[in-house]
A and B are shown apart, each in its own frame.
Chain A
Amino acid sequence: MYQYNPFDRHFVRQRAAQYRDQLARHLRGELPDEEFRPLRLQNGWYVQRHAPMLRVAVPYGELSSRQLRQLARIAREHDLQGAGTAAERGGFGHFSTRQNLQFNWIPLSQSADVMDLLAEVDMHGIQTSGNCIRNITTDALAGIAPDEQVDPRPYCELLRQWSTLHPEFAFLPRKFKIAVTGAREDRAATDWHDIGLTLHHNAAGEVGFRVAVGGGMGRTPLVAPEFRAFVPWQQILVYIEAVVRVYNLYGRRDNLYKSRIKILVKAEGQRFVDAVNREFDALIADPATPRLPQAEFDRVAACFAQLPAPAAVPDARPHDPLPAFDRWLQRNVHGHKLPGYRAVTLSLKRAGLPPGDVTADQMEGAAELAERYSRGELRVTHDQNLLLPWVSEGDLRSLWLAAREGGFATPNIGLLTDMIACPGGDLCALANARSIPIAAAITERFDDLDELHDIGDIDLHISGCINSCGHHHSGHIGILGVDKDGLEWYQVSVGGADGSTLSGRAVAGKVIGPSFAAEEVPDVIEALIGTYLRSRQGGERFIETARRLGALPFRHAADAVRRSTAATE
């Protein structure tokens, strides 16, 4: 992991002090709501349905057990409220698709104290909200994936530093998200981002980035077109500076729904590309423009040095075959770049808890597992699980038993119940409909592991509104909460793709007819799955069958199980 040096620590503490001053002015009545709002947003404080939500930045998803224990402390001591059901009393966090952690119940008056607690463990909420460059995301297997060409983590860290409190880009037309990957397989949905970066080598063996610009979900789902096939790594910050500057000057500010860079890229096409190229060329021609120096890269990269192979501890005792263990090995354990290691996903998709949620006790439990089995390091995955990156092969069985004890061993990674879901209308003020009860009903309906494994790999994504935090557009099955006449309805789509090999080229799913009522949704999912199971050929996965058949047979199957919405047909 990146190790904060005295400079980084000093910087985060200065930020916490600045926020404390802003909060104090706000509480004294000197800084009105509408002027405090953008300032607190850029520190991660987003007032939601019940209380301010705090989004803590987990830079490119890397988390230490020490940090996770501090997050548990914050959950226990600050994320609480006195009334309501157990779930409403707080004391838990939610991991998001952007690899961050959200709290829901911290009173604003305690927010400056929480920033200090975060700073104690080199954390903060800088730019996790607001119209600025957000947390950089990457592959959860960064640095350890067998199919990796270039480790993206040092570059992610350099991007994090560059974008942190960039004075020119603090008030962009809209939020701005950058994802980076360095592997052949895209596990970071890069083409769905404002800027998607893919590290690779050119013919001369030099490291650089493929740059795609202008992707995004929301009301107008667009996949980022490639702008450059290769930007040398030393120039990548200059290229991004050019893109963001042109966007800052010419992005639309008159209409919230048209203010993302994707709209500018789509509307202006080549003219936008030309403007970026002119700006980039002018910067490159200017001797004052710095390139990333090798020494700085080396300093950062040293933090991510590869570990030595673990002492060969072969699993000496032959184990009795255990189907449950085998299933976990098959779904939750992943290949590793270094011999002797495995990466292990701790599933946060289990009955009784919303996808991605962790209680304070579970945070402690996961931290404990990381300390015992993964050198104190964890990753937050894009699909809202935790991952242990440094597990010795010889420890797998012992880890499995411990993970089972902690409720982290559901062998469902990549399966239907490993769904992505936003917090939805239970917690989010923007949501049109709730996501959590829909996720719970589907989890309950598909509680048979044999059946889940038979259905196989599938991406089910649920968003409570068109802002698409649950990435419904890219789900093989997508569910979108919509509001009609003050009631909750759900639009279902089929055939979306995040850009991975399994899913195929990034594309938005096709909506299969008018919205469904909440109580119809589990039946609809079952009907879609039934259509797949009846129609699949050979080893076809759901998405492959959906691509081959198109949306129509799925639409018919879903219509056949309509009840309360049948009359609208």
Chain B
Amino acid sequence: MRFIPSEAPLPSHALRLDNTADALAQGDQVQRHAAVVLHFPKWTDGRAYSQAVLLRGRLRYAGDIVATGEVLADMLPLLRRCGFTAAQLRADQRLEAAQRALGFFDTHYQTVPPERQRAAEGAAS
């Protein structure tokens, strides 16, 4: 997981999707971009998790997926598992807390599509 400083600009080549956007309907657009930026208007609004899952699982999108908006330290384990590769934390969040949040679990019960995809690719190679 890459952390983008809160004051840093987002990659200019990225496609920004609102969290109400139909990610699948924009498949062609998505594939033309090296990064997609997904947005959390409120941290408890979980739509962007499903958007990321669809980008990875259904569209097999292999570029960067960046979380922006109200991104809090405790969201990191969820973001990573749903296929996000970068996060721009809300300005007041401690990087150290976010990194620690990634370390609490070394295992999980279920798989989500990005993990299945990685497992399938691993098995094929």
Contacts and interface: CB of A to CB of B under 8 A. Distances in A.
A167 B12 CA distance: 29
B97 interface: yes
A446 interface: no
A168 B105 contact: no
A53 to B, nearest CB: 20
Contact of B81 (A22, A164, A167): A167
A38 B44 contact: yes
A167 B112 contact: yes
A275 to B, nearest CB: 11
Contact of B120 (A11, A165, A288): A288
B72 interface: yes
Nearest to A39: B74
Given A14-B106, A30-B97, A170 B78 contact: yes
A170 B44 CA distance: 9
A126 to B, nearest CB: 11
A161 B109 CA distance: 6
Contacts of B54: 245
B97 A167 contact: no
Given A167-B77, A167-B81, A21 B100 contact: yes
Given A10-B107, A18-B105, A168 B74 contact: no
A257 interface: no
B1 interface: no
A134 B113 CA distance: 22
Contacts, number: 95
21 contacts: A14-B104, A15-B104, A15-B105, A30-B94, A35-B72, A161-B109, A162-B110, A164-B110, A167-B49, A167-B108, A169-B46, A170-B46, A171-B43, A171-B44, A245-B50, A248-B46, A248-B47, A253-B45, A286-B57, A288-B119, A288-B120
Given A35-B72, A288-B120, A7 B107 contact: yes
A10 B106 CA distance: 10
Per DSSP, chain A at the interface is helix
A18 B109 CA distance: 16
A171 B45 contact: yes
B53 to A, nearest CB: 5
A286 B57 CA distance: 9
B52 to A, nearest CB: 8
Contact of B49 (A17, A237, A248, A289): A248
The 10 closest A-B pairs by CB, nearest first: A171-B46, A167-B81, A18-B104, A167-B78, A288-B116, A288-B120, A161-B109, A168-B49, A162-B110, A248-B50
A277 to B, nearest CB: 15
Nearest to B107: A11
A171 B105 CA distance: 19
Interface string A4-36: 000100110011011001100100001000010
Interface of A: 7, 10-11, 14-15, 17-18, 21-22, 25, 30, 35, 38-39, 131, 161-172, 237, 245, 248-249, 253, 282, 286-290
Contacts of B104: 14-15, 17-18, 21
Interface of B: 43-47, 49-51, 53-54, 57-58, 72, 74, 77-78, 81-82, 94, 97, 100-101, 104-113, 116-117, 119-120
Contacts of B46: 131, 168-172, 248
Contact of A165 (B43, B47, B109): B109
A162 B108 CA distance: 9
A7 B106 CA distance: 11
Given A25-B97, A288-B117, A288-B120, A162 B49 contact: no
Contacts of B120: 287-288
B125 to A, nearest CB: 14
B105 A166 contact: no
A480 B100 CA distance: 46
B109 A282 contact: no
A25 to B, nearest CB: 7
Contact of B111 (A38, A172, A253, A290): A290
A157 to B, nearest CB: 11
A14 B44 contact: no
Nearest to A130: B44
A11 B113 contact: no
Contacts of B97: 25, 30
A167 B56 CA distance: 14
B45 to A, nearest CB: 6
A133 to B, nearest CB: 11
Nearest to B118: A288
Contacts of A7: 107
B116 to A, nearest CB: 4
Contact of A249 (B47, B100, B106, B108): B47
B72 to A, nearest CB: 6
Given A14-B106, A21-B100, A288 B74 contact: no
Nearest to B112: A168
A166 B44 contact: no
Interface centre among A171, A237, A290 (most CB of B within 10 A): A171
A18 B81 CA distance: 17
Given A17-B104, A286-B57, A288-B119, A162 B74 contact: no
A161 B110 contact: yes
A103 B118 CA distance: 42
Contacts of B111: 290
Nearest to B41: A253
Contacts of A287: 120
Nearest to A36: B74
A17 B49 CA distance: 24
A167 B107 CA distance: 12
B29 to A, nearest CB: 18
A168 B107 contact: no
Most chain-B Cβ atoms within 10 A of its Cβ — which of A10, A25, A163, A248?
A248
A431 to B, nearest CB: 24
B3 to A, nearest CB: 18
Nearest to A22: B74
Contacts of A249: 47, 50-51
Interface centre among A30, A39, A167 (most CB of B within 10 A): A167
B112 A288 contact: no
Contacts of A162: 109-110
